């Protein structure tokens, strides 16, 4: 009799454990959405940044990834201009930093711009040729923004 009761208890325990496993295998709605978005990204062959943008849009329920922000567009434009001018090093950093500023900030007076460029060069602890190159790029970008 004890053996039968023990066997029945073990049987019930195994049944409960298998039922718990089955319930645990069911995906939550968020997991289902993630699985769907992953499979769609894989079908489209997306990788890297494109995949990240697609996944964010998909998980948020949007069909298309969001476009680039104004700040990102300005960054891309400034990087392209710096590439065309073949700037590098401190001069490139100075140019891009000044170029990426929003238009309202660029409209500051020339004295403020010069002081701002010098302050940023100080913050980067630039000396000698690096400092001169940084200031040149920064002030060139400021002059270009005034046009």
Which residue do the tokens 């711009």 mark?
Answer: 113
What's the CA gap between 141 and 114, in Å, rounded? 11
In this predicted model, what pLDDT tens digit does every residue of 93-109 receive, in sequence order? 888 888 888 776 666 66
The answer to whether the pTM exceeds 0.85 is no
Which residue do the tokens 């993630």 mark?
Answer: 34
- CA separation (Å) from 136 to 1, 17, 94, 119, 147? 95, 72, 7, 14, 17
Task: Determine the number of helices (DSSP H) and then strands (DSSP E) in the chain.
Answer: 8, 0
Which residue do the tokens 């992953």 mark?
Answer: 38
Q: Would you state the structure tokens that stand for residue 104, as one six-digit string?
A: 């309202």
pLDDT of 11 reads: 64
What's the CA gap between 99 and 21, in Å, rounded? 58
Contact indicator for 132, 124 with CB cutoff of 8 Å: no
Which residue do the tokens 């434009």 mark?
Answer: 77
- Domain locations in the chain as residue ranges: 2-59, 70-146
In this predicted model, what pLDDT tens digit does every residue of 56-92 receive, in sequence order? 888 887 766 666 788 888 888 999 999 999 988 888 8
pLDDT of 139 reads: 84
Angle between helix axes 89-99 and 110-123 (nearest 10 degrees) is 130
pLDDT of 83 reads: 92
What's the CA gap between 69 and 47, in Å, rounded? 21
Q: Would you state the structure tokens that stand for residue 29, as one six-digit string?
A: 């709605």
In this predicted model, what pLDDT tens digit does every residue of 113-143 receive, in sequence order? 888 889 999 999 988 999 999 988 888 887 7
């Amino acid at each position: 009799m004890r053996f039968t009761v023990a066997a029945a208890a073990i049987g019930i325990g195994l049944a409960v454990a298998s039922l718990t496993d089955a319930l645990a295998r069911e995906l939550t709605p968020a997991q289902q959405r993630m699985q769907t978005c992953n499979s769609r990204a894989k079908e489209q062959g997306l990788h890297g940044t494109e995949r990240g943008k697609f996944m964010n849009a998909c998980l948020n329920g949007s069909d298309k990834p969001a476009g680039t922000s104004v700040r990102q567009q300005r960054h891309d434009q400034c990087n392209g201009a710096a590439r065309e001018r073949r700037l590098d090093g401190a001069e490139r950093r100075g140019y891009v930093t000044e170029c990426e500023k929003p238009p309202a900030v660029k409209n500051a007076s020339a004295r403020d711009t010069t002081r701002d460029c010098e302050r940023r060069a100080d913050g980067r602890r630039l000396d000698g040729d690096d400092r001169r190159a940084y200031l040149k790029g920064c002030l060139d970008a400021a002059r270009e923004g005034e046009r």
